[in-house]
Chain A
Amino acid sequence: MEADHVLVERAKQGELKAFSELVYRHQKSLLRLAYRVVGDLETAQDVVQESFMKAYQKISAFEGRSAFKSWIFQITLNTAKNKLRGRRPEFVDIEKASLSDKTNLEADLMSGDLKILVQTEINRLPDRQRMALSLRIFDDLSFAEIAEVMKCPYDTAKANYRHALIKMRQYLGEQQGMQLYLKDNQVEHQEVDA
């Protein structure tokens, strides 16, 4: 399998097949990314297609200082945010999302109510914290990649993610006395002997 940067170089030479491979390779993760921002699949499809069209038009200007993946993520995120502008924000009715008294967290998780509450809380995070959290947890991006997508220094990307986690932990701790499993973050991990 050819690396992205090889395909990018071939696409720059006008090889449409190489760009087609890049589309095939990244379309799923971009659809997820766009869907998380716009909230419906049809709009997410438009966003991703528009993003690939923009990328194809600008491919000769892409210098490769960042990975193609970071670049296309950045384009998609901006396109999705632009689509949202002028659209009325949809709010989840907090009154309808009541927490049950059950102590079984898994059962709560399955019920959907908790899901709505947690997603509402994620949506209430400041923009850049939410973005960092989403890119790290849901898209499995490294902090270096998040920094490229968000056009910010590495430490800022990490700080945004950590602040988001602290807020989420605080909220979840208040609500359920739960602890967050913090992915790939040794400082935040709680480790116990097996």
Chain B
Amino acid sequence: MKKKRCFDLKAFDPAASIESRLADPEFMHDFHAQTMAKIILTEQMRARTQHSQEHAISLERPVEDQDVSQAFGKR
């Protein structure tokens, strides 16, 4: 038994036009490096934002406590 192969839709893959770029190891290496750099940068920025938010919250707390103490006339 043999499969009759008259017409293969795979031949119409629009992505076939970028195959030569994808086969270029330098292109793929650069793309990978760029992707990882973006991930690292985003993570660093996220960590920095999170840290500064936590720092702001810790600075606010004593002020609130002080305000509450003053409001109730405590020293």
A31's partner among B6, B18, B36 (CB-CB below 8 A) is B18
A-B contact count (CB 8 A): 102
Whether A109 pairs with B6 at a CB distance below 8 angstroms is: no
Task: Give residues 29-59 of B contacting A (CB, 8 Å).
Answer: 31-32, 34-36, 38-40, 42-43, 46
**Interface pair B2/A105, CB less than 8 Å apart:** no
Inside 8 A of B43's CB, which chain A residues have their CB? 56
Partner of A24, one of B8, B13, B32: B32
Q: Is the interface of A mostly helix, strand, loop or mixed?
A: helix
Contact digits for A15-44, partner B, Cβ 8 Å, 1 yes 0 no = 010011001100110011101100101001
- Distance (Å) between the CB of A137 and the closest chain B CB? 5
Stretch at the interface among A67-75, A142-150, A186-194: A186-194
Complex contact A19–B2 (CB within 8 A): no
Interface residues on A, range: 35 or more
Nearest residue in A to B42 (C-beta to C-beta)? A53
A119 CA to B11 CA, complexed, in Å: 10
Interface residues of B in 1-39 (CB under 8 A from A): 1-15, 18, 21-22, 28, 31-32, 34-36, 38-39
Residue A141 lies at the interface, judged by CB distance under 8 Å to chain B: no
Q: Is the Cβ of A27 less than 8 Å from the Cβ of B32?
A: yes
Q: Is A191 touching B10 in the complex (CB atoms < 8 A)?
A: no
The verdict on A99 contacting chain B, using a C-beta distance below 8 Å, is: no
Q: CB within 8 Å of A: which residues of B? A: 1-15, 18, 21-22, 28, 31-32, 34-36, 38-40, 42-43, 46
Q: A41-B21, A133-B9 are in contact. List 16 more A-B contacts (CB 8 A).
A: A28-B22, A31-B18, A32-B13, A35-B14, A53-B39, A115-B12, A118-B12, A138-B10, A178-B7, A180-B7, A181-B4, A181-B6, A183-B9, A189-B4, A190-B3, A192-B1
